[in-house]
Amino acid sequence: MGNHLLVDRKACAGHGLCYSVAPDVLDADDQGDPVVTADPVPDDRFDEADAAVDACPERALSWERD
């Protein structure tokens, strides 16, 4: 159970804002695309991850909660 951060790779334009805003939750792969490194997102990193969702100009990040 928890909060899962999803990346829509088709929508992502590779700006890199998400992993610069939330480096403890997201990183970049070899192509510069975001990769979720903390799944589920720990409670103490939720605000950081949520800021990354808000920072994405392409709206390529979203939440899935179970």
Q: Which CATH architecture has domain 3-65?
A: 2-Layer Sandwich (3.30)
CA gap 43, 58 in Å, rounded: 25
Cβ contact 3:41 at 8 Å = yes
Using the predicted structure, report yes or no on whether residue 1 has a pLDDT greater than 80.
Answer: no
- Which two tokens mark 47? 């605000």
- Reported as a single tens digit per residue, the pLDDT across 13-26 is 999 999 999 999 99
Predicted pLDDT at 27: 96
* 3-state SS, residue 3: strand
Predicted local confidence at residue 66, as pLDDT: 87
